[in-house]
Amino acid sequence: MKRSRISMALVMVLLGAGAARADSLLINGAGATFPFPLYSKWFSQYNKLRPEQRFNYQSIGSGAGIKQITERTVDFGASDAPLTDPQLARAPGLLHVPTVLGAIAITYRDLPDGLRLTGPVLADIYLGKITRWSDPRITQLNPGAHLPDSAITVIHRSDGSGTTAVFTDYLSKVSPEWKQRVGSRTSVRWPAGLGGKGNEGVTGLVKSMPGAIGYVELAYANQNRLPRALLQNAGGKFVAPTIAGTSAAAAGVTMPADFRISITNAPGASAYPIAAFTYLLVYRDQTDAAKGEAIAHFLWWAIHDGQKLAAPLDYAPLPAPIVSKVEAELRTLRVQGKLVLGAR
């Protein structure tokens, strides 16, 4: 009898725990694959602090994330590309919250690590004008390197992508022909190559296609042990994609009030030329009280304690002056008209 009572009590505890999990607050987000390795870690760590809250993030690309937050089918979005004025007009009250900085690595296979490339040469590869690794414009940049006389397989994103927007923004700055023919957007009409979905898809194609070249967030290149090119920056130096080089690209930035900024091809001897802020997209005025408060407090945690997790995953933390500006923005978040964080 005693054993039966103990068993019944245990069942009731387990049922109670299950009910608590079922009643936990679920906050849904979608968007950029660029920061997914970090966001995944953030949401996991934050759930340990707030087990009653669970953040469900779908890494589906910036274009899809912008679409879903605009249509309010998710509670927050994520993008590496700031929204355009027409996009913001369709989503009044939507804020850009910078979370970290990241670098886009140019990676490839069948060639040595540290291949040197300039912006114009990279643009001509993606324009389909340079088609072989033995092209004189590449060999002249890499004296003494053994470059095979093999075809270059260009790999790009197939989905709407903030990573693509940053990459094509860079190419538009270093190549007048790219700017005129292709331009800079989350989705472009690619002159050459094969498409992969997400940073994951591009990484997979680069690993599997002979002679491939692609652009991926630094964390994906490092995690998959892919070689990375040295790019010539605006100061004329060939630099690798690193956390330090990413931070250097943001040094001295005058951040606009709405945080929409490009830091590609930034000046400075150590600046890496394809770097960017990445953003979480949230509405200033939240209609759901519980979710609105949860999102505001998570964002405050992310720009403070969350920054400690950035560097181990190959992202650069926000510079202190920008953290101060983001703090001021987060203090304006409202739930049903009332400030959430206030004079924190």
The Cα–Cα gap between 98 and 82 comes to: 10
Tell whether the model's pLDDT for residue 2 goes beyond 90.
no
Contact between 228 and 113 (Cβ < 8 Å)? yes
**64 contact partners, CB below 8 Å, separation of at least 6:** 30, 31, 159, 160
pLDDT at residue 204, as a whole number:
96
The Cα–Cα gap between 14 and 16 comes to: 5
295, 300, 302, 280: which is closest to 335 by C-alpha?
295
The Cα–Cα gap between 228 and 111 comes to: 10
The Cα–Cα gap between 232 and 314 comes to: 21
Contact between 43 and 16 (Cβ < 8 Å)? no
DSSP state of 203: H
The Cα–Cα gap between 73 and 67 comes to: 9
Tell whether the model's pLDDT for residue 4 goes beyond 70.
no
Q: Which two tokens stand for residue 313?
A: 């995953």
Which band of pLDDT confidence, cut at 50, 70 and 90, is reported for residue 166? very high
The 10s digit of each residue's pLDDT in 100-123 is 999 999 999 999 889 999 999 999
Which band of pLDDT confidence, cut at 50, 70 and 90, is reported for residue 344? low
- Amino acid type, 140: Q
The 10s digit of each residue's pLDDT in 78-101 is 999 999 999 999 999 999 999 999
Strands 76-79 and 275-283 come out as antiparallel
- Amino acid type, 69: I
The 10s digit of each residue's pLDDT in 17-74 is 343 345 689 999 999 999 999 999 999 999 999 999 999 999 999 999 999 999 999 9
Q: What percent of the chain has pLDDT over 70?
A: 93
Tell whether the model's pLDDT for residue 3 goes beyond 90.
no
Contact between 253 and 264 (Cβ < 8 Å)? no
Mean pLDDT taken over the chain: 92
Range 127-132 average pLDDT? 98
CA-CA-CA-CA dihedral for 210, 214, 217, 222, to nearest 10: 30
Q: Which two tokens stand for residue 22?
A: 């079922």
The 10s digit of each residue's pLDDT in 200-231 is 999 999 999 999 999 999 999 999 999 999 99
pLDDT at residue 336, as a whole number:
87
First to last CA, the chain: 56
Least confident of 6-15, 38-47, 320-329: 6-15
Tell whether the model's pLDDT for residue 253 goes beyond 90.
no
pTM: 0.89
pLDDT at residue 198, as a whole number:
92
Name the burial class of residue 54, with classes exposed (0-12), middle (13-18) and buried (19+) by CB atoms within 10 angstroms of its CB.
Answer: middle
Which band of pLDDT confidence, cut at 50, 70 and 90, is reported for residue 343? low
